[in-house]
Amino acid sequence: MKIVVIQGPNLNMLGLREQNIYGPMKLEDIHTQMETYAKQSNIEIEFFQSNLEGEIVDKIQECMGEANGIIINPAAYTHTSIAIRDAIKAVQLPTIEVHISNIYAREEFRHKSMIAPVCAGQISGFGPFSYHLAMVSMVQILSEIKAMQEAQQAQQKQQ
């Protein structure tokens, strides 16, 4: 099984920008922690970061047939991108939206997510630990899908 982690604009600046909101941890450190959990769970993981909306859309589309699930922090595009929303909906892969900060405790314009309605769930406000929670959740979702597929195959063999 493979999970693709997609990081949106300015997340490459973690550890440097607004530490009072996002904390001191760098994106590479978050990815290292996610990699450790993925290895423990026998999951392949791939990371992608872009500040460009079109590149994020392209990466989501590339996941179709290549990945089993997506974890995405669309960052500022959360509140504005119909294109990212449509790409997630089109690929029909389990997707979890992640945010380091609690977007609902911040400026009002951050309270609306264009992405959340097409995702399996949203995790926000737990700092970098939000990514770990997303990994645990995605592994559970993928395990449930696999179990359901195996049960359907077993049922078909009996017929």
Measuring CA to CA, which residue among 126, 120, 69 is closest to residue 100? Answer: 126
Rounded distance, CA 131 to CA 133, Å? 5
Helix (H, G, I), strand (E, B) or coil at 141: helix
Please give the C-alpha separations between residue 35 and each of 5, 29, 32, 120, in angstroms, as whole numbers: 11, 10, 5, 22
Helix (H, G, I), strand (E, B) or coil at 22: helix
Q: Catalytic site residues?
A: 22, 99
Please give the C-alpha separations between residue 47 and each of 8, 63, 103, 146, 156, in angstroms, as whole numbers: 11, 12, 23, 23, 37
